[in-house]
Structure 1
């Protein structure tokens, strides 16, 4: 066993045992409170460039398999755990978590006091850190990578050939979003993040979904005019980063949370009914409530814990955007009905357009 360290830019040092790739890595250190789904979390493209701290201590105990990937490969820089099981047992087991980390060159640190580490992150806010085999100064990053470009598809791809045709703008989409759309009977075309309005229009989709993805939404400011054009013409659903981009396109602004929302137990309140849903979330940024144009948008959901905006809907256009992940995986499926609602909004907008033409 080789000793290693997680060094935070605030000066704290957390010792542990190096696992996975074992090479030195640097990234934003974030924590996730989910009790299951570590493979889905590690393979979620929204974590690109980050070091994930798993709050739940038993990581790797059911191994990994080829079915539970949310991205085509793993973009996370590193993981930190209390324990990392090397002898997993599960009927779908194909390999160990450590071998998966080695395959995708993900460095890890186990045997860490993750409770103290999470308390430290909550005290300071999200911080940068490095996983290393020695105690040293943290190098300064001179540039911030454009993570969306790193994780987005490079070319158009179509899945299924029947049902309403949905264009899925890929900012780092999760496979479960594609699966959820297919489960409600949709043909889906996956498109690169920089697809223009005219390119979307040429496909004549019934609706457009703006996916989740990594990083600061303001890194995509140059694409906001195209996003607005798309949403003005096609029924639209934004998820996580997609939600933030739609809000920005209509004049709102975003800010970074102290330590983000990451886990499968985040309660959100539906304002029209007072009903509370438990949701899966993974993000650092939120839409600032005071900047939302309430003459155009209604606020649908707010976060029970901190009151932040969790969903908006346009008053006149078929546009809905949510900060949480209705497809979950991992997490509760309280809000999967949003995909059905989206298809219903497509049908309604089509009927209105047909009536107007006739």
Structure 2
């Protein structure tokens, strides 16, 4: 019989801008801090952890999950696994932990995501001949074969805008709403409980404490958005203002079987009900949440009407609007505290951050179900549903 996988703690760093507060710190250092805090809040013996699973996209090699686990104070006995499903990596890490628990492979996992886009390494093509005098060439990441289509992410957003006839005005209005909702959430302190403060060393003086998302632009106006030039095509409609940011952050959740939580006397925050992935045309990768969500709703016997909170990663405004055209979201349930256009998109960490946001928003609003979903470069979508635990 399938076992329940429950979330007993969920935390994140504040989200830093590229080149901002977290840029001076290697990702595994602030990632280690969120792992420490997640375990502390769960109030468990770290030696009981079966594995640490972290999503990451841009570390440039190695196994950053293992590195971060050790940095977080875990003993050498605790293994680590890094997951790369691009923008869906953080969700996938949590899903893998849940699946391991449901199958009986283990009882307690730390799962989440970690990214430093500020410190992402550049990659170059290796010379085809030994001792070649040719200069190195910058390597473009292939997410799909060129003959199928390996477009830049901004191009895929433009493709969706054209396909679904999404206007510039619609994109600007959606982007403004994201900023306004994020600003309200920050003002009301909705993120305070979930954020782990990070101490940032300074060249002179005392360290500063980083505990507030620094990417939002609370003073954004529709007029200011309307003045921005197209970012990806000369006559396009997608701008920097209607796109997610480049960011640094980490998030960690402690997930365990319901039986283990009961044995340890712990009160779960939420149950992971299930997850799905789906593939789509890489040229319109942003539509990925649509088949993934339809597949998951059918699998769980639920509908979007059952969802109280929907966290859809805002890679681009056009991408969210395109998904909305297909799925017809309730706007009062969709990204109620703003999304990645406002808080940014630290790739491998984003999915786990969205799950963390959903956990706390369900708690605040006393909702029951939350859907967390994201599009994925290369043409995929991923969706996951959680259910709030009654007090």
TM-score in same-fold range (> 0.5)? no
Greater fraction of residues in strand: 1
What TM-score does the superposition give when structure 2 sets the normalisation length? 0.27
Between the two structures, name the one with larger relative contact order (CA 8 Å, sep ≥ 6): 2
